[in-house]
Structure formats: C-alpha cells, structure tokens
Structure 1
Amino acid sequence: MEKIIEQVTDWEFLRKLPLEIYGFTLINEFMTCGSQYRIFTYNNQSARRSFTVMYDKATKDFLVRTVIGLTELCDISFITGNLAALEKLLTERMDKTLWGLAHFEPACLCAQFAGKKITEWAYTSQLPKQLAGFELFITPQEPFKGLNGSYVIIDYSDFATESNLVVNYNIFRDQFFSEIRLRRTPLMTSEFDAKTLPDLEERLKGNLNPTLEQLRLKLQ
C-alpha cells in the first residue's frame, strides 16, 4: 500500500482535475479506509450522488465506486491494476460517467428495458412524494442501472436513518422485485414481485403504504 500511496501522491493527473463539473465538487481524500485507499471523490451533495476513485489492497486493483442515494455500485469498466491504465480510463470515461450521474439519458436504457415502457408508465404520477417519512428519491420516469441486469425504478428513502424501499426491474428474469434496507441492513420482501406493470401497480396500491409504515415502526 505504501508504494501505491507514494505513486498517487506524485500523480500529475490529479493536479489537472477540474474543481467542479456537472454539479460535482472535487474532494482530494488521500485516506485509508480498511483495505482501501480513497484517492479522490466528485460529490454532488444535494443530488446525493458521488464518484470515488480508490485502490483496494485486497484485490490489488484501482476501482471506481459510484453512489446514488443509498445505492453503492462498483463500476467494473474502471477496474485496472496500474496507475497508468487508470489514468487512461479516467481520461476516456470519467467525464461521460459524471454527466450520466448528473443527467438522465433515455438513450442509455437497454432495448429490453425500453420495451417495457416503464418510463412512460402513467401510474408514476400517483406515487406519493412523501410516505411514512420516506422521500420518493427515484421514479420510474428516471431509473438507473444497478447490478446484474437490474434497473432501480422506485426508491423511497429516509436518508437520516439510511433506510429505504427499492423496486427494481431485472431484464434477464423479466421481473419486478423489491429490496428493503433497515439502517443499511438488507431485509427480504416479496410484496412487490410482479411480471407486468399492471400487476406491479396493484401490488403498490395494496402494499406500499403498509410496507413503509412497518419499516417506520422498526426504525422507532
């Protein structure tokens, strides 16, 4: 790790980074967190989005972690074992990735997801903005791609307690499913499992309010 820290300290690339871009502010971190060394972060606090470049001693890789709300993702397109390759990847892809974090781009949705017509779903307008102290953070009109072929289409979050209810659509299973985090601890739920949008709509009508109310009670 000491050799990596020395290389990063002398890394000329860092001195050329813009202080602000697309609403993100640069934070030079240079700090060790467990087996990882955090190099820099572009953070948009109001949008609750960030882009962090780090080194992982356990895997001996440089990597990028993006955060959208309470969802953290490792962007595999940036994983590399040396600093020169990382600089090349960041030069080629970082600007586009930050723009994508700051703006929803329908053209980036895969064909199968687009064919499901989720972004055009009329029921979206009936989703309450606030419910049981949870904020509607992600809507079906502006989903984002998660892991393993899943897109986050609904996210009700309480950021103060780091708890939320997320509804996803998986393109490989052609199925809607949900996840609950209680103070970041995952909880199982099948209340919103569905194959079609009309089915999901019925499940939301019957289960959204009581599910979030129950989650609120567990937080008290």
Structure 2
Amino acid sequence: MTEYRMVQENGGDKEYLLFAYCNADNNWSVRAIFNPDSEEFSVRTDIGMLEFALIEFITSDFAMFRAMVEDRLARIIRDYYVEPSRNFSVILKNKGLPDVDWDEFLPAEYGGFRCLIRPNQAVRIINGSYMILSYYQKESRSGLSVMYNVLRDDFFAERRIHNFPNLVHDFDGSSLEGLKRALQQRLLPVLDSISADIS
C-alpha cells in the first residue's frame, strides 16, 4: 500500500506517511515516514502490542534513506515479519522455543483477545528481545505480550490497557518449562484481569 499524506494527531502534524506495508491477518505494519519536527526520515514497525523505529534507517538525508530502503527493507520485512524463523538467533533456537507444541495449550482466541504471535513465530523487537507471545484486542488497544531477552536469558511480560503499558510478573523466569507451566496456569486468568480492566 502506498500513501503520501500528512498524518495529524491532536490537531497538529505528526508525520508525513511516505508508504506503508500492512498485514491485516497478523496485525502488523511497516511504514516509512518523515517527521516534520526532527526533520528525519525513519521506518517504524507496529506489531499490535508494540511500535518502534528500526534505528538503522533514521537519517535526515533523503537520498541515503531511499538507498537504505531499496537495499534492505524488503529483506527485513520478509525475515522479521513474514518468515520470522529466518531471524531466530542461535540462543533462541538453543532455548528450545521453536520446538514446543504451543498449539496444544495456547488458544487462538480467548475473551475477545486474538493470538497474533506464538513462540515458534517469535518476532525480534528491540534491546536484544523477541516478542514470543501476543494476545491483542485491536478495538481497545489492550492485551498481553510475553518477551524473551537473549542477553539476560529471561522471560518477562507486559500488559496494555488502552495502550498504557505495565509489567506483569506471572511469567517471569528463565526456564522454558517454567514458562510453559506459567502459561498453562496463568494465561487465561491474566487475560481475564485485562478484560475486566478495559471497561
């Protein structure tokens, strides 16, 4: 999808949208923008529970930005979001995350939340982390995400209520077996508590 338009927020210019690729099935988008305040071009990724900039694309030089986009963006979209297993680190593979039968106990939907990311489709995000699980309700911008940080070798989670984040400690730890037990015992109650807090 290609668009050239100014995106406004709170009555002011937020960003000029150059183009965007969207996947409605998995609820992710990658968009190229120009920020009128910083006068910089960048590429931003939105995977439902998290939005962030791909820092290697940030520049004030349009010719450089265009060259980087042409040279690398298609490969990054394929490896990060279309076929995320191509981007699994050795640490993530050795942890065993791709090998567990997660479908056995992770529902595709629950209480209005849709599972967008599963551990065997983990998405590399920022600061040495992968988002390994995401349950999201697009209408309320609320849900639960579980991450794995390869540098610290630990699992941690965040819940969002109307896009406002806070940590949830039910899934903290470094053991894969511990994570499986925590998800089997605590996933649905945590989603129930998020649902209760949405209204």
Give the structure-1-normalised TM-score: 0.82
Which of 11, 16, 31 aligns to 2:6? It is 31
Contact 2:145 2:157 in 1 (8 A): yes
Alignment of 1:82-93 (within 5 A): 82-93=61-72
Q: Pick one of 172, 179, 184 that aligns with 2:163.
A: 184
Cα distance in 1, alignment partners of residues 7 and 112 from structure 2: 35
Shift of 1:83: 0.7
Aligned to 1:18: none
1:102 & 1:150 partners in 2: Cα distance?
Answer: 15
Does residue 175 of the first structure (1) align with residue 150 of the second (2)?
A: no
Instruction: Extract unaligned runs of 5+ from structure 2.
Output: none
Tell me if the contact between 1:70 and 1:159 (Cα under 8 Å) persists in the aligned partners: no
Determine if contact 2:84/2:122 at 8 Å carries over to the other structure: no
Considering Cα pairs closer than 8 Å and 6+ residues apart, tell me whether 1 or 2 has the greater RCO: 2
Ranges in structure 1 where 5+ consecutive residues have no aligned partner: 1-25
Which moves more between the two structures, 70-79 or 170-179?
70-79
**Aligned position for 2:86:** 107
Percent sequence identity is: 27
Check the 8 A contact 2:26/2:116 in 1, yes or no: no
Answer whether contact 2:147 2:157 (CA < 8 A) is retained. yes
Kindly provide the amino acid, as one letter, of the partner of residue 126 in structure 1. F
How many residue pairs match? The answer is 195
Q: Secondary structure at the match of 2:171?
A: coil
Letter in 2 for 1:138: I
SS of match in other structure, 1:100: helix
Residues of 1 paired with 2:183 and 2:49: CA distance? 21
CA distance in 2, matches of 1:191, 1:37: 40
The answer on 1:155 being equivalent to 2:134 is yes
Q: Displacement of 1:103 after TM fit?
A: 2.0
What is the match of residue 196 of structure 2?
A: 217
Cα contact 1:30–1:40 (8 A) shared by 2: no
**What are the within-5 Å matches in structure 2 for residues 8-157 of structure 1?**
26-33=1-8, 34-100=13-79, 102-157=81-136
Please report how far the alpha carbon of residue 136 of structure 1 lies from its aligned counterpart in structure 2 after TM superposition: 1.4
Segments ≥4 residues shifted beyond 3 Å: 32-35
Superposition RMSD on alpha carbons, in Å? 1.7
Contact 1:124 1:141 in 2 (8 A): no
Letter in 1 for 2:64: A
* TM-score normalized by the length of structure 2: 0.90
